[in-house]
Amino acid sequence: MRNRRAGVTLIELVIAVMIIAVAAIASFQFLVYCDKFVSRATDRIVAANLARETMEMFYGRDYDSLGTGSGSVSLPAGNILSSRHTNVKREYRINEHTDSGTGNVYKVILVTVSWDK
C-alpha cells in the first residue's frame, strides 16, 4: 500500500497562478481596446450628427440663394463635445459643378467637423 498525500505541490500552485495572471492581463488589454473603440465610435456618431444638423440648415433654403464659398457654424452652448473636446469647429464649403454629360449645374455642400482632444 502506497502512502498518498492529498494536496497541491508548489509547482502546481505556481502554474495555476501564472495561468490566472496571463488571463487577467489579456482581459485587461481587451477592456482597454474596447474602451478606445467605443470612444472613437461615439466621436464619429457625434460628428455625423453635427454634420447632419449643418446640412439641415441648407434644406429649407432656395437653391438660387445658396452661393458658393465657405463658412462656419457655431455650436450650441450645451454641446456634448464641449466637456471632452476643445476647439470644436463645424465648417462648410459650397461648390458649384457642371455635369459634363448633361450640362446640368448642381451644388455640392461639404461639411467638416473637427476638434482637439
Q: What residues pair up with 20 in beta bridges, in sequence order? A: none
Q: pLDDT category, 2, cuts 50, 70, 90?
A: low
- pTM of the predicted model over 0.75: no
Q: What is the pLDDT of residues 21-34, one digit of tens each?
A: 999 999 999 999 99
Q: What is the pLDDT of residues 61-85, one digit of tens each?
A: 887 788 888 888 776 645 555 566 6
